[in-house]
Structure 1
Amino acid sequence: MGSGLTTAGLISSGWGESAKAEAAPISDFGISAPPDDENPRSCRPEDPLAALMDGNKRFVAAWRQKDKATTMAARAEAMAGLWQHDCFLSADVLSTGQAPWAGILSCADSRVSPEWVFDAAPSDLFVVRSAGNTAFDDAIASMEFTVSALNTPLIMVMGHSACGAVNAARNDAPLTPLLEQLVTPIRSSLTPGEDLEAAVKGNARYTAQQLSQRSTVLAEAVNKRQLKIVASYFDIHSGTVTLL
């Protein structure tokens, strides 16, 4: 998973370590430390949730400016303003390990890239994507990894406007067996008569609840206040992420 961890290092990291605990020395993983004080944790913000929302504000500003432009070149120029305020680690540091400060469980929709939506630099976010942003087994296991092994203190489940997976779950159209399997968890979150936006928001909340309900690792971290799990909704038209 690109962590720089050995199996022994993963086991010794412990499931219940504090999210604020220092990462194990790089030398423990058999890799030489960089020549200065920069390390994989150097870019961690004090308030990860605030950092996400601040990044989205920057994205929204660029997104709206882009929509005012009348040419492709002008749109590209508007979006080029992103990644101007991020903390970028060197390749030497990134090769020693990772310390993402937020985990994002989002839809696989091509319009919903978390790194883009939150104006985040490489190594900031630990991202799992699947149609409908459901709490499937591999997603839960991945989030257990980032919380327990990498001490990630925040998980955000992000639904989005015009979600095709949620819309498919609301309809009776025939699906392939695998697609039917994919949307079944979404159907568990639906309320009769609700519109698509309400269904997407309800599904995001349901998934966030499922993470801690189905994982003792995540539940323990939440109970110890080492982890916060939140749900959110991304509006494609405005670019805005709203906490639910």
Structure 2
Amino acid sequence: MFIPLHDAVELKYIRVQYVTISIIAINVLVWLFTTVASPAIVEHASLGLGFIPAVIFDYAVLDPSLIIVPDDATFITYAFLHLDFWHLASNMLFLWVFGDNVEDALGHVRFLIFYLVCAAAGAALHGLVVPSSEGPLIGASGAISGVVAAYFLLHPRVRVWVLVLFRIPLPLPAFIPLALWIVQQFAMLALDLDGAVSWGAHVGGIIAGAVLVLFMRRKGVPLFDRAIVTPKAVERKSGVPQVMAVRE
């Protein structure tokens, strides 16, 4: 398990990641609203906006008094609800670290479409895995899994600072932690179908993100970018001789 902290990829095509910031803001505002509300409102929001496979596949019917949006809309709305602060924080941190560069590679509008389609794909696979489940699926993990998959294909060799085992900060090529994380999602989908985490939503988002980035990225944006990004702090000025290190 790792927590992303920072990457070294600068924006090339956009000045500000407006969509990424807006998605994070919406998620935070929704969480704050549902947190300060009464438990009854929180439950109502989860049932009315969460993705419930049994309702989608006609195994159950939601009480009309709980309906907030049409059933089909919950393929998207579920991705803006979170269970608690840590659920929200972990998802938004992944989005903050990796989302800006995927938005840069796709453009603002296409990134928004990409994000929502990945969310819908996550819900769809979750529903196919547990079609009779009456528990509401909530959280942005499906959409963010798509973002991670896209970043993995775009910038696998960029160094990313990650917190390993929640305590050890390490700068690693992105493909190492991301590949391990992606493999873990598929493995857990096979091993933990009845767990509290929807691995199906993660895998659905990964598959959608990996496919969509192939044709949604800007013209000229390469996959498996091999450019080495030198941190500004160590850039050399022209005309300044390089001093070789001396080893004792």
TM-score by length of 2: 0.28
Greater relative CO (CA pairs within 8 A, separation 6+):
2
- Could you tell me the TM-score, scaled by structure 1's length? 0.28
Higher helix share: 2
User: Which protein is bigger by CA-based radius of gyration?
Assistant: 2
